[in-house]
Structure 1
Amino acid sequence: MKTKKVTVIPYDYKWNEEFQKIKLDLEKTLEDSIIAIEHVGSTSVEGLSAKPIIDIDIIIKSYDNFQDVKSRLESLGYYHEGDLGISGREAFGYVEKEELMTHHLYVCPQDSVELKRHITFRDYLRTHKEDRDKYSEIKLYAAKKYPTDIDSYIETKSPYISEIYKKIGL
């Protein structure tokens, strides 16, 4: 069991502004080497409670230009962490970016199954208020019940995520 504080808070409109700041910072260096930068995860869904951590997918054409993107990210202070057991997504960490909100950064090729899952899930929750609100309640409940156990938190919300995946064909 991992002991890690689990904090879930009601949606905050500042999250989109914070994403825009990070995106701007990345775009200056990545420019023409990428297709897009997407705000994914719970903070990208207006009205959804979330852990206050921005999830970002940087979309590249293919792994052919991954090394270029990786070295550009390294010049910004990010370091490559590998796929962390999830194929089609390369994770990047960082040390001390006090001016930016805490975020998770991933680089995904445009044909990545993981990227499709992130975008499809986000877009579904953005347009289905009832499911978004139920998911929000489950997350708040799980964080309250397991405030120091990230694995149990994830386990508690997983069945509802699976239910949504079935609805959207994932």
Structure 2
Amino acid sequence: MAEKTKVVEVVPYDPAWKAEYARIEARMLEIAGDLIIAAEHVGSTSIEGLSAKPVIDIDLVMESYEKLPEIIRRLQQYGYEHQGNLGIEGREAFRSVKEDGFMKYHLYVCPKDGKGYREHIVFRDYLRSSPSAREEYQAVKQRLAKEYRYDIDSYCEGKTEIVHSILQKAADPRIRL
């Protein structure tokens, strides 16, 4: 099971997150670079200027699920535990079972056409290009972090409506940024 966040903390954007992502990405490419087609920094820490929980999200993108058994085997050799999709189709979660020297991060392996991966990219790219959506999302996250400081599930549930709204806007070509 994924490690539960004990305290929900949303902090101002930190430019060091880019460098930390690059360190994690380099490690993942060493482990499974020949099995994936891309690595992507997703989630709030990938959006410059957006306050976030200080947790890096990385998607390793595979051509198809045919690669997954070998990716699982490789990651296990380096101390990662496969957690399944954790209820989200098109995304396989992993966690490090030993200290690896990185800041906290979530590692996902996704097929290139998987819903989880596509939504991560669409959401990230829309927030990067829309200051008003970014500010609105940030305000919701900050409010929820105060309201649900010790309840990560309620924090996540509270974001559902705005996340769906942003995904809908991002997918509608008639909506201008």
TM-score with structure 2 length normalisation? 0.90
Map 1:29-108 to 2 at 5 A.
Answer: 29-108=31-110
Per the TM alignment, residue 61 of structure 1 is displaced from its structure 2 partner at its CA by 0.5
Change (3 A) 1:152 1:31: closer
Q: Quick check: 1:115 aligned with 2:85?
A: no
Per the TM alignment, residue 139 of structure 1 is displaced from its structure 2 partner at its CA by 0.6
Per the TM alignment, residue 119 of structure 1 is displaced from its structure 2 partner at its CA by 0.3
Q: Secondary structure at the match of 2:33?
A: helix
Per-residue CA shift, 1:110-139, capped at 9, x if unaligned?
A: 110111000000000001011101111111
Q: Give 4+ residue runs of structure 1 displaced > 3 Å after superposition.
A: none
Between 114-123 and 72-81, report the one with greater CA deviation: 72-81
In 2, Cα distance between the equivalents of 1:129 and 1:59?
27
Which residue in 1 is equivalent to 2:175?
none
In 1, Cα distance between the equivalents of 2:132 and 2:162?
13
Per the TM alignment, residue 91 of structure 1 is displaced from its structure 2 partner at its CA by 0.6
The higher relative CO (CA closer than 8 Å, separation ≥ 6) is in 1
User: Given residue 136 of structure 2, which amino acid in structure 1 is its aligned partner?
Assistant: K
Q: Secondary structure at the match of 1:88?
A: coil
Between 16-25 and 160-169, report the one with greater CA deviation: 160-169
Q: Secondary structure at the match of 2:101?
A: coil
Between 54-63 and 146-155, report the one with greater CA deviation: 146-155
What are structure 1's unaligned runs of at least 5 residues? none
What are structure 2's unaligned runs of at least 5 residues? 173-177
In 1, Cα distance between the equivalents of 2:118 and 2:158?
23
Which residue in 2 is equivalent to 1:147?
149
Per the TM alignment, residue 154 of structure 1 is displaced from its structure 2 partner at its CA by 1.8
Between the two proteins, the alignment pairs up a number of residues equal to 169
Between 97-106 and 121-130, report the one with greater CA deviation: 97-106
Q: Quick check: 1:8 aligned with 2:17?
A: no
User: Given residue 87 of structure 2, which amino acid in structure 1 is its aligned partner?
Assistant: G
Q: Quick check: 1:162 aligned with 2:164?
A: yes
User: Given residue 144 of structure 1, which amino acid in structure 2 is its aligned partner?
Assistant: K
TM-score with structure 1 length normalisation? 0.94
Contact 2:122–2:167 (CA<8 Å) still a contact in 1?
no
Superposed CA RMSD: 1.5
Aligned equivalent of 1:127, options 122, 126, 129: 129
Change (3 A) 1:147 1:160: same
